[in-house]
Amino acid sequence: MAKVKNFAGFDVSKKFFDVCLSVDGLMSSTRFSNDIQGFKALFSQLAVDTHCVMEATGPYYLQLAFFLHEHGLKVSVVNPLIIRRFCQMRLSRAKTDKADARLIVAYGIKEEPAVWEPPQQYVIELQQLQALCDQFQKHYRALSNQLEAFTASGLLCKRLERQLLKELAHIEEQIAGIDNQMHELITVHHGEMMNNLTSIPGLGKKTALALIVLSGGFKKFNNYKQLSAYVGLSPRIYESGTSVKGRSRICKMGMSRIRALLYVCSWSAKRCNAACKELYDRLVLNGKNKRLALIAVANKLIKQAFTIATTNVAYDKNYRKNICL
């Protein structure tokens, strides 16, 4: 298989993007507007075998990535944390859009990352609804805390109290509407998967939905360990030589919201999920602290969810017993 010779690294922002082209080892940098005119101007300069590499920077990269993919070019979308670590490894001190594009193309040349597959429209809609719901929930918590503080002062005027209560009720209505939209989309596209996931004792509808959205219907990851690492629940060992024996911790390099949901689920799973209860009791009996045991239970839930979603079966508490028979 011939090695790719042409690479393009993109640093994308809201109004424009910088691109660094590497053609047979020769580098050149250009800036284009982040719109259809800029895309067409860029495309006229790219060879048909160019491998395009960019970061997943919010929503700003999506239009460009779709355009390049639709025009037959190889596109890779990389986690920004990976690029940051690559930058640190090369001891790069410059922080400009042009320098970032050069680093991204250097990463592409060295690693040749996997080709990006465009998400389906309903997946994008779910992700946007999820993001909007998160913002509403943050706003609700902020207003709720404010109301509590004003009430505790004993000086809250009735008119302000009515305004805050009205706003809180409105936000609750908006959140409920978004939840309904998300469940309608999930029912249409992943109804059976949703039913199977919620058959797992301890795993609620909100967490099951979040896992489906995060994993693109459990198609973005090859195994549960990749999903666990993406969420940020995989263990990080801290040891060096014979003198450094630090405590193992989860890496936390992932989605804090889904980690929090899974951690809450672990509290009920350790009571009603047989496999999780066995794991939790064994770890506590062996002297592990309860928080660590709960994190292990959260990982167990990810493993169960991944297996059930990818094999298209409902939860069976007697699964291992039946296998032995």
Say if 287 falls within a structural domain: yes
Structural domain ending residue among the three candidates 61, 88, 111: 111
Residues 155 and 237 in one domain: no
pLDDT tens digits, 120-134: 889 889 989 988 999
Full residue range of the structural domain in which residue 21 is found: 6-111
- Per-residue pLDDT, averaged over 176-194, amounts to 93
Residues 171 and 238 in one domain: no
Structural domain ending residue among the three candidates 138, 165, 197: 197
Say if 86 falls within a structural domain: yes
Residues 107 and 125 in one domain: no
Determine the pLDDT at residue 232. 80
Structural domain ending residue among the three candidates 150, 166, 197: 197
Residues 182 and 214 in one domain: no
- Per-residue pLDDT, averaged over 290-309, amounts to 93
The pLDDT-based confidence of 265 (bands split at 50, 70, 90) is very high
User: Does the pLDDT value for residue 136 go beyond 70?
Assistant: yes
Whichever domain contains 56, its CATH number is 3.30.420.40
Question: How many domains are there within the chain?
Answer: 3
Say if 116 falls within a structural domain: no
Residues 125 and 160 in one domain: yes
User: Does the pLDDT value for residue 42 go beyond 50?
Assistant: yes
Say if 46 falls within a structural domain: yes
Determine the pLDDT at residue 162. 95
Say if 51 falls within a structural domain: yes
The span from the CA of 132 to the CA of 135, in Å, is: 5
One-letter amino acid at 242 equals: T
Say if 1 falls within a structural domain: no
The span from the CA of 46 to the CA of 268, in Å, is: 54
Average pLDDT, the chain: 86
pLDDT tens digits, 49-75: 999 999 987 789 999 999 999 999 999
